């Protein structure tokens, strides 16, 4: 019905973590604890010892005596292991499922934190764009990368769009009367 009115729908997708209640995490955690095989054991980063995130410095979360990387140390949000190609393929499957239902694209939540490295993130995002382009004519992606324009600009290399939060902040400041939006536009241009 929406397509008949020229309206496209994009979905918000969380790409950097799942819930501790997600079946993949539950099975992966159990397999790690029991030292048994499961494809989901490598969907996350599990360890028997405490560790600190290498770039952000927060500590590992723990559950049932197992440590795991969690988004910003939030214990309920275990981070995906994007070094495992099966995780990337899982997202291709998720995107494809929704594209086949008629969705036009996706907003990738907190996508800056898939890795905490622009080059590695762009590798993942380019993989998403290029792989889906083999099957779908037009897929729209927009990254939520809450950072300055100078930090966001390199992300355009992936072929995805990106929010401009600097412009949003200036507009909000102008509405609040804290700054002159015209001066910002002149500087921006």
Q: Which 8-state DSSP code applies to residue 119? A: H
Determine which helix (DSSP H) or strand (DSSP E) holds 31, and give its type and residue range: helix 23-34
Catalytic-residue membership of 144: yes
Distance separating alpha carbons of residues 29 and 43, to the nearest angstrom: 10
Rg of the chain, C-alpha, whole Å? 19
CA atoms of 73 and 52, how far apart (whole Å): 9
Q: Is 17 helix (H, G, I), strand (E, B) or coil?
A: strand
Residue of 109, 123, 151, 166 marked catalytic: 109
Residue 93 appears among annotated catalytic residues:
no
CA 7/CA 168 separation, integer angstroms: 24
Local structure of residue 78 (DSSP, 8 states): B
- Please return the burial class of 108, using the count of CB atoms within 10 Å of its CB with bins 0-12, 13-18 and 19+: buried
Q: Which of 27, 42, 144, 166 is catalytic?
A: 144
- Residues labelled as active-site residues: 109, 144
């Amino acid at each position: 019905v929406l397509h008949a009115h020229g309206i496209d729908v994009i979905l918000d997708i969380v790409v950097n973590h799942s819930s501790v209640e997600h079946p993949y995490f539950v099975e992966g955690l159990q397999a790690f604890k029991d030292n048994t095989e499961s494809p989901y054991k490598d969907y996350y980063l599990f360890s028997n010892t405490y560790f600190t995130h290498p770039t952000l410095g927060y500590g590992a979360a723990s559950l049932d005596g197992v440590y795991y990387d969690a988004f910003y140390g939030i214990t309920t949000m275990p981070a995906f292991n994007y070094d495992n190609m099966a995780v990337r393929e899982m997202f291709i499957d998720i995107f494809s499922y929704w594209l086949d239902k008629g969705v036009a694209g996706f907003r990738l939540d907190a996508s800056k934190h898939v890795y905490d490295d622009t080059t590695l993130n762009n590798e993942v995002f380019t993989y998403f764009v290029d792989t889906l382009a083999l099957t779908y004519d037009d897929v729209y992606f927009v990254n939520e990368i809450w950072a300055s324009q100078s930090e966001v600009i390199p992300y355009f290399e992936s072929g995805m769009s990106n929010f401009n939060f600097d412009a949003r902040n200036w507009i909000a400041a102008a509405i609040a009367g804290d700054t002159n939006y015209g001066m910002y536009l002149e500087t921006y241009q």
